Chain A
Amino acid sequence: MSAGAGYRRPGWQTLDSGQALLIAVSGLIVLVAVTQVFAVHLVQPDIAVFFGVLIALGELFRMVMPGNREVAPVATAGALGYALLAGVGPRPDAPQGGGVLDVVPATHSSFQVIAVAATGMIVGTLPHIAVGRSPRPDAMARRLVTVAIVAVAFRPVVRMRPDWLPLLAVMGAVVVCACFLDVLVAAVIRAESVRFGIAVRDEIRAKLALCAATSATAMLIAVATTELGPAALLVFTAPILVTQFAFRRYAGIRATYLQTVRALSRVTEVGGYVETGHSRRVSRLAVSMGRELGMSEEELLELEYAALMHDIGQLALGDPIPGGATVLASPVEQRRIAELGAEVIKQTGVLDRVADIVRLSSHPYRTAHGDAAPPDAEPPPPLAGRIIKVANAYDDLVGDSGDRDRGAAVLERLRLDSAAEYDPAVVEALARVVDRRPRH
């Protein structure tokens, strides 16, 4: 989803300070845990191997959710399940229908949980590296830290050997906290490019359902292994496998959708209506500006769709506008193109809001300054529309030239027109975005 996804650098080069800190912390935790486990030896090694294999398999089948979020639901459920494990199956000598929690207790420490989880994750990552996919250390570190915190919080509770009811209650509380912790950590990392509050909201929206499913399965795995022994483990991962399949499909279709719109937005270029790369440059610029202005992820997606398709109305014109620059066309014509484009988009029946953005993106921003505004003035177009108007004007005048002087001159021109034609706040956002760009 990120606008800069076109030129992705290797994982380690894109790390910023928050991610680096997270990775360092998780590395330290793993180091301590592994050292400790080596010192006291593995307890109940067969169970540890079972869970280690499950976690490794889960890492193998990790996936990327919309918003470039890497998740590994099976691995996370397995690792959390190991952290929540109270016992490892019924006692061989137990009477039939024996009492509550009459099981062989699980005696592994929280250090062992961390060591097993880390080992499983690394083993499961190796095949990814083998086929040339570079791992995302920050996502792995976040998963590991979550597991570590749950383990440290929950293992002492198990040692008190409580009854099922309180045990389940504590389990539930711990996994809910783990979910929120995961969201917060992810939001802190993301907040280096967007505002924290928005980042938290985006993360919750994107992760809540999957988090709930993963947590429920983690508890299921823990309870089932406690009651029925490790053989039940594989059977009881079935619900999360179904969930993983469903989410993978969802993520795949989302990505395809965006790809399709991106590709088809180029029909205007091939038809000679706009300059090569115009739609894509406008959309990239618009998304950066939207992020600068604090739009949420969902709004950014709509903005991106609208920006990609904002010129689609030109297809209905008999002859392309010279040079394709709509900013040079008369306002009436600009409006007509936007109306036609909105009409096309509205026909999809599902992108009504995107159609509205495109329709209003040709309208001037004229009302909101002072008492001079007439009382019956139209309300200003939505933020997304104002952003596209500015981004489109900038790209029409600058094109793909990387000349900073030309960019500065165009910015100056837009500033002169702002308040009447363009929203001043949006123009300033553009100035900041352009300023941050690397020199050509």
Chain B
Amino acid sequence: MRELPAAAWVFVGGVVALAAGLVATVPLTDLDWTTLAVLAVLFLVCDSRPAQLTVERARVSLGFAASLAGVVMLGPGGAALLGLSAVVTGQRMFAPVKRLFNAAQFALGGYAAGRVFDALGGPRFHPNEAAWVEHVIGPFLAAAVTFVLVNLALTGGVLVLSRQATLGGMAAQSGQLVLGCLGYSMFGLLIAGLWPGIRAFAAVLVLLPLFIARWALEQAHDQQRSHAATLASLCQAVETKDYYTRGHSERVSRGSVMIARQIGMRPARVEAIRYAGMLHDVGKLGVPTTVLQKDGPMTEQEFAAIQLHPMRGLEIVREIGFLDEALAGIMHHHEKMNGRGYPMGLAGDEIPEFARVISVADAFDAMTSTRSYRAARGIDEAVAELRRCAGDHFDPVIVDAFLTALEREGWEPPGPVAAPGDAAQTTAQDHDDPTAPLRVTRDGAAR
């Protein structure tokens, strides 16, 4: 907090001074103090446990509902006072400056929203009248948008000025944030509409389901994390068979996600490809260890066993319903653009997009990892190799996307591995490595 730039200090000071000035001018005579007190308590209860959005660091609290209810019931002055109660928020925010600023921005937002609601004629209607909801919904929406925008602009402003965020980054994240805040604000209308009849009990009825929903979402989030962790450990367990490929699945998954983001896949598909990358070699378990560890040329039969591993992988994961498109990626990740790959010999666009993505990440990681028969290649060397194989082996579009993402995000190749003492646990040839094709003898069985 100490090393805040001067501009940020000025900004914070200005906002706080403006809020203080506004609150000082609020006429205190015809304010409904009991409603204000109840709403303030409600606001603090809601604000103490904000919900985490998928966007990092951005949180939305149900306090927005209480604030907007205050806008409708108390008018601009009351809403500003209500915002001030954020000074004693239960959120873990220790610096007094932060608390003060937070309260000031809520006060300003409440005041602005109240003015908008007044200007559009919201207070002319009373909840006991017929068709109150229909009359008030327009002004209320405008007030909610105002409140959210003021809130975002002021907090965004301080984050940008204190260099904790960039303008571009804020813009990219604000979409979800605005929607979340607006959604929560809308519940303020429900509370305000029922307040004359059943008072604060309205808030209980509205907010209880929402708190339960949030609890359920947290549970879902936990389960999601456990799921991902379990999947990762099981993949690791599969890798224990081969000393040198440890971490391979994890890295291929990361590389595939980099490419997927670069070519603009939807978030749901990015998630799917994350799992596909993780699971792409699971079928290697079906290949006998003796074949995987064979040093020297393979017979056609042994090569056929290796070629089968994508199918074996598919066999294992086929029943995992959510994988869906990822299944095609797992099955075809060894196809080549020229049609010489396996298991089906698909060519060009026939190869599913997921498979084209995974095959690039797969080959790149294989090249930049140490193998028993060679040391790890440098990133530059691997990039050159990808470029060389683009068009023939890999999809050039995907390779370009990967190289762009690589430049931006970088790549952490696995650390150098000391040769394991147990020689039985290593492969002598890597089927993923495009620079060292598997050696297959054309013995008697071949025609």
Which residues of chain A are within 8 angstroms of B316 by Cβ–Cβ distance? 263-264, 266-267, 270
Q: How large is the interface on B (under 10, 10 to 19, 20 to 34, 35 or more residues)?
A: 35 or more
- Which A residue sits closest to B424, measured CB to CB? A318
Whether a CB of chain A sits under 8 angstroms from the CB of B150 is: no
User: For the complex, would chain A's binding face be called helix, strand, loop or mixed by DSSP majority?
Assistant: helix
Among B168-210, those with CB < 8 Å from A are 183, 186-187, 189-190, 193-194, 196-198, 201-202, 204-210
Contact of B318 with A by CB under 8 A: yes
From B194, B196, B227, give the contact of A260 (CB < 8 A): B227
Cβ-defined contact, A209 with B230, below 8 A: no
Q: Contact flags (1/0) for A6-23 with B, using CB distance below 8 Å?
A: 000000000000000000
Please measure, in the bound complex, the distance between the C-alpha atom of A272 and the C-alpha atom of B292, giving whole angstroms. Answer: 15
Residue contact A227 to B187, C-beta cutoff 8 Å: no
B193 x A239 contact (CB < 8 A): no
Bound complex: CA of A344 vs CA of B235, how far in Å?
10
Interface mask (A30-63 → B, CB under 8 Å = 1, otherwise 0): 0000000000000000000000000000000000
Q: Is the CB of A94 within 8 A of B229?
A: no
The stretch from B28-36, B42-50, B278-286, B389-397 touching chain A is B278-286
CB of A180 closer than 8 Å to a CB of B: no
When distances are taken between beta carbons in the complex, the residues of chain A under 8 Å from B232 are: 348
User: Looking at the complex, which of B127-135, B350-358, B376-384 is the stretch in contact with chain A?
Assistant: B127-135
A211-222 CB contact bits vs B (8 Å, 1 = yes)?
011101101100
In the assembled complex, the Cα of A226 lies from the Cα of B424 at a distance in Å of 77
* Cβ-closest chain B residue relative to A345: B233
CB distance from A93 to the nearest CB of B (A): 10
**Interchain CB contact (< 8 A) of A236 among B190, B238, B289:** B190
Give bound CA distance, A96 to B196, whole Å.
12
A69 beta carbon closer than 8 Å to chain B: no
Q: Which of A220-258 contact B (CB under 8 A)?
A: 220, 223-224, 226-229, 231-232, 235-236, 238-240, 242-243, 245-247, 249-250, 252-257
A residues in contact with B240, CB < 8 Å: 315-316
* Interface pair A216/B229, CB less than 8 Å apart: no
A381 interface residue, CB < 8 Å from B? no
Q: What separation, in Å, do the CA atoms of A255 and B236 have in the docked complex?
A: 23
| Chain B residues positioned under 8 Å from A236 (CB to CB) | 190
Q: Is B312 an interface residue (CB 8 A)?
A: yes
For the complex, what is the distance from the CA of A259 to the CA of B241, rounded to whole Å?
24
CB-based contact A227/B193 at 8 Å = yes
Tell yes or no: B319 within 8 A of A by CB: yes
Q: A228 to B223, alpha carbons, bound, how many Å?
A: 40
A261 at the interface (CB under 8 A from B): yes
Q: Is the CB of A253 within 8 A of B128?
A: no
Check: A420 CB closer than 8 A to any chain B CB.
no
In the assembled complex, the CB of A15 is this many whole angstroms from the nearest CB of chain B, namely 27
- Are A229 and B130 in contact, CB atoms less than 8 angstroms apart? yes
B52: Cβ under 8 A from any A Cβ: no
Q: Which of A164, A216, A267, A349 has the most CB of B within 10 A?
A: A267
Whether the Cβ atoms of A90 and B130 lie closer than 8 Å is yes
Q: In whole angstroms, what is the CA distance A294 to B316 when docked?
A: 32
Does A385 interact with chain B (Cβ within 8 Å)? Answer: no
Whether a CB of chain A sits under 8 angstroms from the CB of B322 is yes
**A254-284 contact mask (Cβ, 8 Å, vs B): 1 or 0:** 1111011111101100111000000000000
Stretch at the interface among A97-105, A182-190, A321-329, A424-432: A97-105
B119 within 8 A of partner (CB):
no
Q: Is B440 in contact with chain A by the CB < 8 A criterion?
A: no
Residue of B128, B204, B223, B236 touching A227 (CB-CB under 8 A)? B128
Distance in Å: Cβ of B272 to nearest Cβ of chain A: 12
- Chain B residues closer than 8 Å to A94, beta-carbon distance: 128-129
Given contacts A96-B126, A261-B230, A348-B226, contact A243 B216 (CB under 8 A): yes
Q: Do B194 and A223 have beta carbons less than 8 Å apart?
A: yes
Contact, CB under 8 Å: B205 / A98? no
A168 at the interface (CB under 8 A from B): yes
Q: How far is the CA of A219 from the CA of B201 in the complex (A)?
A: 11
Q: Which residue of A lies closest to B210 (CB)?
A: A239
Neighbouring B residues of A264 by C-beta, 8 Å: 231, 234, 282, 316-317
B226 touches A350 (CB 8 A): yes
Q: Which chain B residues in 229-251 approach chain A with CB under 8 Å?
A: 229-234, 236-238, 240-241
Residues of A within 8 A of B216 (CB): 209, 243, 246-247, 249-250
Judging by beta carbons under 8 Å apart, are B190 and A164 in contact?
no
On whether A246 and B319 interact (CB within 8 A), knowing A90-B129, A213-B208, A227-B128, the answer reads no
Interface residue ranges of B107-134 to A (CB < 8 Å): 126-134
Contact A263 B319 (CB under 8 A): yes
A89 at interface, CB cutoff 8 A: yes
A217 to chain B, nearest CB (A): 5
User: What residues of A have a CB within 8 angstroms of the CB of B295 in the complex?
Assistant: none
Give chain A's interface residues, CB within 8 Å of chain B.
Answer: 89-90, 92, 94, 96-98, 100, 102, 164, 168, 209-210, 212-214, 216-217, 219-220, 223-224, 226-229, 231-232, 235-236, 238-240, 242-243, 245-247, 249-250, 252-257, 259-264, 266-267, 270-272, 312, 315-316, 318-319, 344-345, 347-351
A-B contact pairs, 6 of them (CB 8 A): A228-B193, A235-B189, A250-B220, A250-B223, A253-B220, A267-B237
